Amino acid sequence: MRRKLALIATLALLAACGRDEGQGGLTSEEERQLDEAAKMLDDNMIDIPSDSLVANEAEIEAIENAESENAQQ
């Protein structure tokens, strides 16, 4: 009789494990929260063209002129 009760208790505990879990062991609520956070981050991304990150010749010349003027003073 004890064996049957132990077996039933073990099966009940195993059946309770993993309930409402999605990928990676997350609950459906945790997965939804992560999806919302990822969407917020994606919406806040700024698209910067790669050529805007490169200084042009006029900017470089202006910086060099300012540095040389500061060095002369």
Residue 73 three-state SS:
coil
Q: Note whether residue 67 is domain-resident.
A: no
This prediction has a pTM of 0.35
User: Residues with Cβ < 8 Å from 44, sequence gap 6 or more?
Assistant: none
Q: Note whether residue 57 is domain-resident.
A: no
Domain interval for residue 34 = 21-46
Q: Are 17 and 25 in contact (CB under 8 A)?
A: no
Q: Please give the structure tokens belonging to residue 12.
A: 């009940």
DSSP 55: P
As a whole number of angstroms, the distance between CA 64 and CA 34 comes to 47
**Residue 40 clears pLDDT 80, i.e. is over it:** yes
Predicted pLDDT of residue 35: 93
User: Domain tally for the chain?
Assistant: 1
Predicted pLDDT of residue 34: 92
